[in-house]
């Protein structure tokens, strides 16, 4: 097994560390991985599993020796040489079990299992093609058992990046490199996007425009009967529906008459989105920056969790100028371009869904009914809470709670004592030192909204995690959580409860709560708050006597800087349609971009012949560095047998010349050698036969 990059490598928190395990030669994917690393401003550290030993490599995976991402790249025909449905199911089950076991041994690593496309000969054989489909379907059902495993189907790579050329029979024959540089560019981009998804602050609400975004036409000018939703706009609607199902809230912000907007949902043909898909609809002529801020405040969410989507460059510029922390996505005017932009806005990618996420919109609707109850009938907050019938259940977590616990650490930014994210290993390692909190009332369940992590240290109950979803704040749930911790401390014969705390740009509500119920730890070197175990057990919420959780501690000062983001470039947002290079949404374009990036500093002089320029470009793209002059040696600059296979294929693809493989393996070529052979094709020889193999192996 190639020594994996450990999870805590020297490159720091912004490094992409990945182990690639594959059933075929996958090293060409390195080019795309490193290209995106440069675009995102992160180091890329790669380790490669032994050639073709997928099961063996997975068996060697262990926590502490495993990087944060394990990419398992599978071409099913490499396991299934003949068409046998029963064997296909067995192999897929065994692979799923091997991935699942490895994922459980390394719970803080993300396992990406990619089913790669079969070859044309395999697809041409009906029995074999069917067995390959069976294998992929069985794996798809089997893989998601471990929470840190994601299955990536072939369509996610092929369709999203419109891969025009997938298979390369020549490199497959010579070195078991079955795919083209275009496919590897799309595959590498897909892997980076999946890694990226786990590293960013997840959007919680999408504020979308109406005219030119949800429908074609201007409602105020064309009327309800004059706007339309064509096939591509319906795909935009379906994209937004998937966002809602993933737990993101939808808000409509349109400069139109509200009555017209409401009528559009019921009368415009082709509408996929319904009024109930939106938690808020704002239709007026206020500046959209004002509306965005009001919507975020109304929902109790930070502006840095908002994505604003509009086709107007003016509206996008106005929102961006007033609220730089909002992720602003400018759409092109045509529906196809709008859909492409949304599909390639990386922060809007969807991870593994949870049950809580699918119900989030309904929870906010329930909260609206709670507000109505308070406004209509309650004379005080205590009276309102009494009528609400709040039920709080605090319990030890079970295995089924892990997805929601991970989601809480990722999504909770306001009421959290530290703002840190816990990994699956940390959450599962202390089942007796953790509690989850479920809440419901007369209007329905809130789901699991709270999490506490604690341990015993001498005579102290040390609390390292204390999180509560913002939708449950201000109702005394946090007080019941602290009281429960006090009861635990008393039951264990402990003297005090100590709560670790670290300021973040957004956790002021948590600090305010601690300042009300506890005191800063007397040791100035200890960051946190402390109170006696008995005092903690007797904490109670006084709804009409205590300041509300949202009340400021001091007069407001300057607007705080937005929460720091990772050093990323293009994928966060595009200022306007013209700023998004369309090429980076297709496999061909990505390949051209990564080649151009390397090529920019090595372009020969204009006087250099075209064929020499082409050879230098091919050489540079394969080795990721330019030749050392026309006499630079391919092997001396890092070219091994696999890179040579790519060189042979690229020369054949661009010049139609078959290089004499055996002599060049014995005596690796220079640029001058290659040019001589290209210019005198009569000296070229046949490619290797199946029996010959590739003798030059590093």
Q: What is the pLDDT of residues 27-38, one digit of tens each?
A: 999 999 999 998
**Average pLDDT value over all residues in the chain:** 81
The closest of 86, 310, 63 to 210, measured between CA atoms, is 310
What Cα–Cα distance (Å) separates residue 90 from each residue in 21, 56, 75, 97, 145?
20, 17, 16, 11, 17
- pLDDT in the model for residue 252: 95
How are beta strands 434-441 and 460-468 bridged, if at all? unpaired
CA distances from 535 to 475, 479, 540, 549, 613 (A): 20, 12, 10, 20, 77
DSSP string across 47-82: EEPPTT-HHHHHHH--TTSS-SEEEEEE-GGGT-SS
Q: In what order do the strands lie in the sheet with 444-457?
A: 391-395, 434-441, 444-457, 460-468, 496-500, 528-532, 519-520
> How many degrees, rounded to 5, is the angle at CA 540 between CA 534 and CA 542?
150
**Each residue of 10-33: pLDDT tens digit?**
334 578 999 999 999 999 999 999
Cα–Cα distance for residue pair 692/320, rounded to 1 Å: 61
Q: Coil, helix or strand for 318? A: helix
Alpha carbon 567 to chain centroid distance?
A: 16
221: three-class secondary structure by DSSP: helix
User: Which position has the higher pLDDT, 64 or 392?
Assistant: 392
pLDDT digits (tens, 9 = 90+) for 476-523: 899 999 999 999 999 999 999 999 998 887 788 888 899 889 988 877
Q: For position 687, what pLDDT does the model report?
A: 44
Does residue 5 register a pLDDT over 60? no
Helix (H) or strand (E) holding 496: strand 496-500
Pairing relationship of beta strands 110-115 and 149-152 according to DSSP bridges: parallel
User: CA-CA distance, 127 to 131, in Å (whole number)?
Assistant: 6
Query: Residue 698 and residue 592: Cα distance in Å, rounded?
Result: 29
Q: In this predicted structure, which of 244-258, 373-387, 539-553, 599-613 has the lowest mean pLDDT?
A: 539-553
How far apart are alpha carbons 572 and 345 in whole angstroms? 7
> What class is the 379-537 domain?
alpha beta
Class of domain 205-351: alpha beta
Contact 214, 229 (CB under 8 A): yes
Backbone angles phi, psi at 631, to 5 degrees: -105, 10
The alpha carbon torsion through 96, 98, 103, 105 (nearest 10 deg) reads 160
**pLDDT beyond 50 at 2:** no
- Reply yes or no on whether the pLDDT at 105 is more than 60: yes
| pLDDT score for 557 | 35
User: Considering just the CA atoms, what is the radius of gyration of the chain in Å?
Assistant: 29
Mean pLDDT of 629-658: 74
Contact (Cβ atoms closer than 8 angstroms) between residue 405 and residue 427 = yes
CA-based torsion, 379, 384, 385, 389: positive or negative: positive
What DSSP designation does 117 have? Answer: P
User: 157 in helix, strand or coil?
Assistant: helix
Alpha carbons 230 and 227: distance in angstroms, whole number: 10
Query: 3-class SS at 45?
Result: strand
* Annotated domain spans of the chain: 16-197, 205-351, 379-537, 601-683
pLDDT digits (tens, 9 = 90+) for 29-88: 999 999 999 888 889 999 999 888 999 999 888 877 788 899 999 999 998 877 788 888
- Locate 495 and state its tokens: 């003297």
Please tell me what DSSP assigns to residue 118. Answer: P
Mean pLDDT, to the nearest integer, of 624-632? 70
Residue 272 neighbours by CB distance under 10 Å:
16
Average pLDDT, stretch 559-585?
46
Helix (H, G, I), strand (E, B) or coil at 437: strand
265-273 mean pLDDT: 94
Quick one: pLDDT at residue 458?
Answer: 92
Q: What is the DSSP letter of 119?
A: P
Dihedral sign for Cα atoms in the order 200, 426, 61, 352: negative
pLDDT reported for residue 692:
44
Nearest in space to 531 (alpha carbons), one of 576, 574, 570, 495 = 495
pTM for the full predicted model: 0.70
CATH label, 601-683, candidates 1.10.600.10, 1.10.1200.10, 3.30.1490.100, 3.40.1160.10: 1.10.1200.10
- CA–CA distance, 601 with 599 (Å, rounded to integer): 6
Q: How far apart are CA 60 and CA 38, in angstroms?
A: 30
CB 670 within 8 A of CB 630: yes
Q: Same CATH topology for 16-197 and 205-351?
A: yes
CA distance 472 to 475: 7
Class of domain 16-197: alpha beta
Residue 579 has pLDDT above 60, yes or no: no
8 A C-beta contact, residue 457 and residue 530: no
Cα–Cα dist 281/254, whole Å: 8
Q: How confident is residue 208, by pLDDT bands cut at 50, 70 and 90?
A: very high
Give 462's strand partners: 455, 498
Give the model's pLDDT for residue 494: 95
Q: Do residues 461 and 496 make contact, with C-beta atoms less than 8 angstroms apart? A: yes
Closest by CA to 173, choosing from 678, 682, 648, is 648
The C-alpha atoms of residue 75 and residue 85 are separated, in whole angstroms, by: 16
**83-107 burial, b for 16+ CB within 10 Å, e for fewer?**
bbbebbbebbeebbebbbebbbbbb
Which residue did the predictor score with more confidence, 412 or 545?
Answer: 412
**Cα angle 289-295-298, degrees, rounded to a multiple of 5:** 140
pLDDT for residue 600:
58
* pLDDT mean over 327-350: 90
Answer yes or no: are the C-beta atoms of 421 and 375 closer than 8 Å: no
In this structure, is the dihedral angle defined by the CA atoms of residues 585, 591, 594 and 599, taken in order, positive or negative? negative
Strand 327-330 and strand 306-310: the pairing is parallel
pLDDT of residue 209: 96
Give the model's confidence band at 270: pLDDT under 50 very low, under 70 low, under 90 confident, else very high. Answer: very high
Strand order through the sheet with 327-330: 280-283, 249-254, 205-208, 306-310, 327-330
pLDDT at 356: 63
Tokens standing for 682? 């009569």
Q: Give the angle subtended at the CA of 346 by the CAs of 147 and 363, to the nearest 5°.
A: 60
The tokens for 283 are: 């239709």
């Amino acid at each position: 097994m190639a020594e994996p990059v450990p999870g805590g490598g020297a490159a720091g928190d912004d490094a992409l560390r990945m182990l690639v395990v594959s059933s075929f030669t996958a090293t060409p994917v390195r080019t795309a991985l490193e290209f995106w690393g440069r675009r995102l401003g992160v180091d890329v550290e790669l380790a490669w599993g032994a050639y073709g030993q997928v099961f063996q490599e997975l068996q060697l995976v262990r926590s502490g020796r495993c990087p944060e991402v394990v990419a398992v790249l599978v071409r099913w025909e490499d396991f299934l040489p003949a068409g046998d449905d029963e064997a296909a199911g067995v192999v897929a089950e065994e692979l799923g079990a091997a991935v699942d076991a490895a994922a459980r041994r390394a719970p803080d690593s993300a396992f990406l299992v990619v089913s790669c496309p079969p070859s044309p000969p395999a697809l041409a054989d009906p029995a074999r093609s069917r067995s390959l489909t069976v294998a992929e379907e069985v794996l798809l059902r089997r893989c998601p058992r471990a929470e840190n495993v994601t299955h990536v189907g072939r369509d996610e790579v092929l369709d999203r990046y419109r891969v025009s050329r997938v298979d390369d029979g020549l490199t497959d024959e010579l070195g078991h490199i079955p795919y083209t540089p275009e496919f590897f560019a799309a595959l590498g981009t897909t892997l980076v996007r999946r890694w990226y998804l786990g590293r960013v602050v997840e959007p919680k609400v999408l504020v979308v425009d109406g005219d030119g975004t949800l429908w074609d036409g201007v409602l105020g000018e064309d009327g309800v009967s004059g706007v339309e939703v064509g096939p591509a706009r319906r795909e935009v609607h379906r994209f937004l529906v998937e966002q809602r199902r993933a737990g993101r809230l939808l808000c409509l912000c349109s400069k139109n008459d509200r009555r017209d907007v409401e009528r559009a949902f019921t009368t415009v043909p082709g509408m996929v989105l319904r009024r109930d898909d939106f938690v808020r609809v704002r239709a007026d002529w206020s500046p959209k920056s004002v509306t965005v801020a009001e919507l975020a405040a109304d929902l109790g969410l930070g502006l840095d969790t908002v994505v604003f989507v509009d086709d107007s460059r003016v509206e996008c510029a106005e929102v961006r100028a007033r609220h730089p922390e909002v992720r602003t996505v400018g759409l092109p005017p045509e529906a196809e371009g709008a859909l492409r932009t949304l599909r390639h806005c990386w922060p809007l990618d969807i991870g593994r869904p949870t049950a809580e996420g699918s119900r989030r919109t309904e929870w906010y609707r329930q909260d609206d009914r709670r507000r109505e109850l308070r406004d209509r009938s309650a004379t005080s907050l205590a009276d309102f809470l009494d009528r609400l019938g709040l039920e709080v259940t605090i319990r030890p977590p079970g295995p089924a709670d892990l997805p929601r616990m991970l989601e809480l650490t990722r999504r909770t930014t306001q009421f959290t004592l530290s703002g840190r994210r816990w990994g699956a290993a940390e959450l599962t390692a202390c089942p007796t030192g953790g509690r989850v909190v479920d809440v419901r009332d007369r209007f329905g369940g809130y789901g699991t909204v709270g999490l506490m992590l604690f341990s015993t240290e001498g005579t102290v109950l040390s609390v390292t995690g204390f999180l509560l979803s913002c939708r449950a704040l201000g109702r005394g749930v946090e007080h019941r959580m602290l009281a429960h911790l006090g009861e635990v401390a008393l039951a264990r014969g402990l003297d005090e409860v100590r709560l670790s705390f670290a300021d973040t740009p957004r956790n002021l509500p948590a600090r305010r709560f601690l300042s009300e119920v506890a005191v800063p730890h007397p040791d100035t070197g200890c960051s946190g708050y402390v109170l006696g175990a008995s005092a903690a057990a007797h904490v109670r919420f006084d709804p009409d006597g205590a300041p509300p959780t949202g009340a400021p501690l001091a007069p407001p000062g300057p607007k705080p800087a937005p929460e720091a983001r990772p050093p990323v470039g293009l994928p966060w947002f595009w200022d306007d349609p013209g700023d998004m290079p369309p090429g980076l949404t297709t496999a061909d374009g990505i390949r051209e971009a990564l080649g151009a990036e390397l090529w920019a500093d090595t372009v020969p002089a204009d006087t250099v012949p075209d064929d020499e320029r082409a050879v230098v470009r091919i050489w540079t793209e394969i080795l990721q560095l330019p030749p050392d002059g026309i006499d630079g040696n391919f092997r001396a600059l890092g070219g091994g047998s696999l890179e040579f296979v790519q060189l042979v294929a690229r020369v054949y693809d661009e010049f139609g010349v078959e290089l004499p493989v055996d002599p060049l393996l014995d005596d690796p070529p220079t640029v001058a050698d290659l040019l001589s052979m290209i210019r005198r094709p009569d000296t070229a020889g046949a490619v290797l036969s199946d029996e010959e193999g590739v003798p030059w192996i590093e």
